C-alpha cells in the first residue's frame, strides 16, 4: 500500500504545528520521521491516524484521496498506530486488549475470545513475538507490551504501521529486537512510519529519513547520511556531538546513601535498601528503564518522598527528615524530571523563575522586600551565560520553548555554590544543540569538584556523561560499573541480569560473533522521495 501526504498543515489557533508537509511512504518501506521533540512529528501522525483533522492538505492511499473522521476510519483503511504511551488496559489479558473494539462474537452476541487467541498465536509465531494470549498485560515486560500493541494493529490487518518513539521505554536489547521485528514486517509487505529522534536507530533500520524541524519538512535523505549531518539538519546549524570530557579526578565521598527504602502510599516498595556513594568531582549516572525507582530516589534525596528506612548524608549532614528548603540550603541543586510541573512556575516571569529558591536571600530579598535591581542583573547574566533565547526577562516562562525552559532551570540551580548537583532527565525534550550545551555545563560543574548525580533513561546520555553508572532494577541497585561499560552489559543489567552474568553473557556473544568485513561505501546513495539538499554520502559516525 502506498501512502501519500500532500500539503498537510495543522494549526492550533495561529500556531502551525505542521505546515505544507509532503510525504510519500512506499509499499514495504521503513520511512523515518526524524526530528526533535516539538518538531511536529507526532502531530502529523495524529492527523494521518484520524485523531486530528488537517487544516489544509490531502491524504492519499494508492493515489486515491481519503478522509478520516477518526482512528476507526484510519484502521479500516489499513493504517495502525503504536503510540509512545501504550493504549492497553493493564488488568486485561492480551487477548482481551486486542479484541477490544473489534470483538468477535458467537451466536447470540457472546464474546468469542478463541478467534482472537488464534490470530494472536498465528502472528506471534510468524514474527517470533512469543506472546501468550492469556497473559495479564500488567505482568508483561515493557518490550512485550509493545509487541502486544503491534499485534493489535496487525490483527486489524494494518498495511501501514506508525511507530511513535517506540524505543523510548526499551532496553538496548529490546530495542535491537524491535528493529529486527520492523525488518521482518517490511519483508512481509508492511510499510512502517518510524518516528524518532535517536540517530543511531534511525540509521540502522530506515530506507528513507525525512527530517522535520519546527513543523516543516527540511529534507529527505538516505540512511547512509552521517549522524553529524542528520543532527545539523535537525537543529539547523553545526552541532558537536562528542563531549570529549577529561577523565574525572574524584575526591572524598560526599553523598553517602545507605540502605534507603521507600514505600509509596499504595504500600509498594519502590526503593529497596539502596546504597551508593558519590565522590567530589565525579558524575554518577543512574540508568534503568523508566519506572524502576529513579523518581523515588531523587525525591528521597530532595525530601519530597518520605524515607521508610536508611540514611542519606551529604558531607556528614543527615538529609533524611529535612524539609526541601533545608536540603536546598544544605547546598543541593536539583533539576526535576518534569520542568513544567516541578521546575518552574510558568506564569511567573523568567526573571522570577531564576530566583525561585533564592528569593528570600541576599541580594534578592530581605524580609518582605525584593531587590528588583539585583533580580534584573542576575537575569541578564544567567540569560547570557546559558544562552536562553528570549527578548525580555520579564516574559513569562511559559513563553519559552522546552529547551529554553530547561536552560532556565539549569541556570538557576547552577548559579549558586553547590555541594551536590542532581539532574533528572536533564535533556528531555531538548534539541540536539541545547543538549550539547547542557552536557558541557554539567561536566563543568563536575570539574569544579561538585559531586553530580544524573538520572536518565537515555542510555547514550548516560554513557556520554558518566564516570560511574549505577543500574536500578525494580527499586534495587543491580550493580555499579565504570562509565565506559559497554551498551550490551548495561542493557542486560537494565533487564535484571546480574552484573557478573551480564558481563559474562556480553563477552560470550562477542566471542561467538563472526568477524564482518567492512563494506565499501556505495558510489551513490539510494534514491529518496525528495531530492536531498545535503550530502548523503557516508561519513564517519559521530556517535
Same domain, 32 and 180: yes
Domain termination site, one of 466, 485, 504? 485
- Parallel, antiparallel or unpaired: strands 79-82 and 269-279: unpaired
Give the residue numbers spanning the domain of 358. Answer: 339-416
pLDDT at 401: 72
Does residue 351 sit in helix, strand or coil?
Answer: helix
Same domain, 287 and 401: no
Does residue 146 sit in helix, strand or coil?
Answer: helix
286: in domain? yes
496: in domain? no
Same domain, 137 and 201: yes
Rg of the chain's alpha carbons, rounded to an integer? 25
Domain termination site, one of 369, 397, 416? 416
Name the nearest CA neighbour of 180 among 135, 230, 130. 130
For the stretch 218-263, pLDDT in tens is 999 999 999 889 988 988 877 776 777 888 889 999 999 999 999 9
Same domain, 101 and 204: yes
498: in domain? no
Q: pTM (2 decimals)?
A: 0.70
What CATH number corresponds to the domain at position 452?
Answer: 3.40.50.300
For the stretch 366-387, pLDDT in tens is 777 888 889 999 999 999 988 8
Same domain, 169 and 52: yes
Name the nearest CA neighbour of 193 among 536, 529, 459. 529
Residues whose CB falls within 8 Å of the CB of residue 365, separated by 6 or more in sequence, listed in order: 358, 359, 371
Same domain, 347 and 327: no
CB 446 within 8 A of CB 283: yes
pLDDT at 339: 83
Same domain, 29 and 136: yes
Distance from C-alpha of 441 to C-alpha of 103, rounded to nearest angstrom? 54
Same domain, 212 and 118: yes
CB 407 within 8 A of CB 434: yes
Name the nearest CA neighbour of 402 among 412, 393, 410. 410
For the stretch 456-469, pLDDT in tens is 988 888 999 999 99
Same domain, 18 and 130: yes
Same domain, 211 and 137: yes
459: in domain? yes
Instruction: Answer yes or no: is pLDDT of 532 > 50.
Output: no
Name the nearest CA neighbour of 438 among 405, 483, 407, 400. 407
The domain total for the chain is 3
pLDDT at 535: 37
pLDDT at 510: 61
pLDDT at 126: 85
12: in domain? yes
Same domain, 199 and 175: yes
For the stretch 4-51, pLDDT in tens is 999 999 998 888 999 999 999 999 999 999 987 678 888 899 999 999
Domain termination site, one of 485, 502, 526? 485
Distance from C-alpha of 410 to C-alpha of 134, rounded to nearest angstrom? 47
82: in domain? yes
45: in domain? yes
Distance from C-alpha of 490 to C-alpha of 497, rounded to nearest angstrom? 9
Same domain, 164 and 183: yes
Amino acid at each position: 500500500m502506498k501512502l501519500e501526504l500532500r500539503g498537510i498543515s495543522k494549526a492550533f489557533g495561529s500556531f502551525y504545528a505542521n505546515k505544507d508537509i509532503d510525504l510519500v511512504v512506499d509499499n514495504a518501506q521503513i520511512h523515518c520521521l526524524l526530528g526533535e521533540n516539538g518538531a511536529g512529528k507526532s502531530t502529523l501522525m495524529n492527523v494521518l491516524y484520524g485523531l486530528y483533522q488537517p487544516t489544509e492538505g490531502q491524504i492519499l492511499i494508492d493515489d486515491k484521496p481519503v478522509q478520516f473522521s477518526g482512528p476507526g476510519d484510519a484502521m479500516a483503511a489499513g493504517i495502525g498506530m503504536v503510540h509512545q504511551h501504550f493504549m492497553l488496559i493493564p488488568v486485561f489479558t492480551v487477548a482481551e486488549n486486542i479484541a477490544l473494539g473489534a470483538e468477535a462474537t458467537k451466536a447470540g452476541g457472546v464474546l468469542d475470545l478463541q478467534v482472537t487467541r488464534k490470530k494472536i498465536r498465528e502472528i506471534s509465531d510468524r514474527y517470533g513475538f512469543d506472546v501468550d494470549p492469556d497473559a495479564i498485560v500488567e505482568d508483561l515486560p515493557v518490550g512485550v507490551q509493545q509487541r502486544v500493541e503491534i499485534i493489535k494493529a496487525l490483527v486489524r490487518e494494518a498495511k501501514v504501521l506508525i511507530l511513535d518513539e517506540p524505543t523510548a521505554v526499551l532496553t538496548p536489547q529490546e530495542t535491537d529486537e524491535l528493529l529486527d521485528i520492523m525488518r521482518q514486517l517490511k519483508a512481509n509487505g508492511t510499510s512502517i512510519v518510524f518516528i524518532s529522534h535517536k540517530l543511531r536507530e534511525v540509521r540502522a533500520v530506515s530506507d528513507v529519513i525525512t527530517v522535520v524541524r519546527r513543523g516543516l519538512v527540511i529534507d529527505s535523505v538516505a540512511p547512509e547520511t552521517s549522524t553529524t549531518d542528520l543532527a545539523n539538519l535537525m537543529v539547523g546549524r553545526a552541532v558537536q556531538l562528542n563531549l570529549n570530557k577529561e577523565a574525572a579526578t574524584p575526591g572524598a565521598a560526599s553523598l553517602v546513601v545507605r540502605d534507603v527504602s521507600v514505600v509509596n502510599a499504595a504500600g509498594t516498595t519502590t526503593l529497596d535498601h539502596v546504597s551508593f556513594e558519590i565522590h567530589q568531582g565525579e558524575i554518577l549516572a543512574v540508568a534503568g528503564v523508566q519506572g524502576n525507582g529513579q523518581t523515588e530516589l531523587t525525591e528521597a534525596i530532595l525530601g519530597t518522598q518520605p524515607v521508610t528506612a536508611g540514611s542519606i548524608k551529604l558531607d556528614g549532614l543527615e538529609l533524611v527528615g529535612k524539609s526541601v528548603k533545608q536540603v536546598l540550603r544544605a547546598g543541593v541543586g536539583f533539576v526535576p524530571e518534569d520542568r513544567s510541573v516541578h521546575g518552574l512556575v510558568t506564569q511567573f516571569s523568567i526573571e522570577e523563575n531564576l530566583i525561585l529558591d533564592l528569593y528570600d536571600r541576599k541580594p534578592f530579598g530581605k524580609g518582605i522586600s525584593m531587590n528588583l535591581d539585583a533580580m534584573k542583573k542576575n537575569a541578564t547574566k544567567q540569560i547570557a551565560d546559558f544562552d536562553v533565547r528570549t527578548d525580555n526577562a520579564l516574559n513569562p516562562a511559559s513563553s519559552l520553548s522546552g529547551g529554553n525552559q530547561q536552560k532556565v532551570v539549569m541556570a538557576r540551580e547552577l548559579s549558586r555554590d553547590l555541594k551536590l548537583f542532581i539532574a533528572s532527565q536533564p535533556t528531555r525534550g531538548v534539541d540536539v544543540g541545547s543538549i550539547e550545551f547542557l552536557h558541557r555545563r554539567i561536566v563543568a560543574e563536575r570539574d569544579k569538584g561538585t559531586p553530580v548525580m544524573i538520572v536518565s533513561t537515555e542510555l547514550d546520555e548516560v554513557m556520554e556523561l558518566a564516570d560511574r553508572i549505577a543500574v536500578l532494577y525494580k527499586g534495587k541497585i543491580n550493580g555499579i560499573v565504570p562509565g565506559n561499560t559497554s551498551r550490551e552489559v548495561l542493557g542486560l543489567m537494565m533487564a535484571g541480569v546480574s552484573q557478573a552474568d551480564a558481563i559474562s553473557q556480553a563477552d560470550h556473544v562477542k566471542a561467538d560473533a563472526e568477524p564482518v568485513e567492512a563494506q565499501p561505501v556505495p558510489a551513490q546513495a539510494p534514491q529518496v522521495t525528495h531530492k536531498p539538499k545535503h550530502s548523503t554520502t557516508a561519513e564517519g559516525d559521530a556517535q
